[in-house]
Amino acid sequence: MPGTFEPLPGGGASVALDDVEISIIRSLAVQLLELIGPGPAEDEAPADPLAQLFAEGPSEPPSDPVLKRLFPDAYRDPETPGNPHEAAEQRAHSAEFRRYTENDLRAGKRENALAVIHSLNALTPGEDGPAVLELTTAESRRWLGALNDLRLAIGARLEITEEDDTDDFYRLPDEDPRKPMVMAYLWLGGLQETLVSTLMA
């Protein structure tokens, strides 16, 4: 049965996680970090904070389908490109927007994944049951961002769209090779939902 986040007095959230659950989330967060890639090395980063803010990033969308889901184009819908002139304008706007935002987006996703890993590393599972993870409100928001990114990544690998009925995934036979990934996707969704409810309480 998936764990659920519960509110802490004074703000924040807590959830009980066993060894297997801790290992799964940590492993997925590490894989997400590897996919997003490292940040700029200290000797490559601009010394001027203002220059760093406007440092240019990539202008083309990523080729990997997971990264495409994590860093989508801002100004065009690939399903409805419109007329050729309009599509060219949207591509140009998307490239410009991506050039000045993707580095920051990657940094934010990297920090969220690292926050998850650090908080799990600090846990000491109890001998008689699961460990209880306690998060501040700020840490909870980082977890929420990371859980969302993990579900987007798994959803992209499974080719899940917003229109897909996830109830069908509960009925997958055990021998289906997608089953472990689907169960992780659904479990993370439950965690995400209860964390949202906790933060809105």
| pLDDT one-digit tens code per residue, 107-162 | 899 999 999 999 999 987 666 778 999 999 999 999 999 999 999 999 999 888 76
What dihedral angle (degrees, nearest 10) is formed by the CA atoms of 5, 8, 11, 12? -40
Q: What is the pLDDT of residues 16-33, one digit of tens each?
A: 999 899 999 999 999 999
Res. 60: pLDDT tops 80: no
Q: How far apart are CA 51 and CA 197, in angstroms?
A: 39
The size of the chain, in residues, is 201
**pTM summary value:** 0.80
What does the block give as tokens for 20? 């297997």
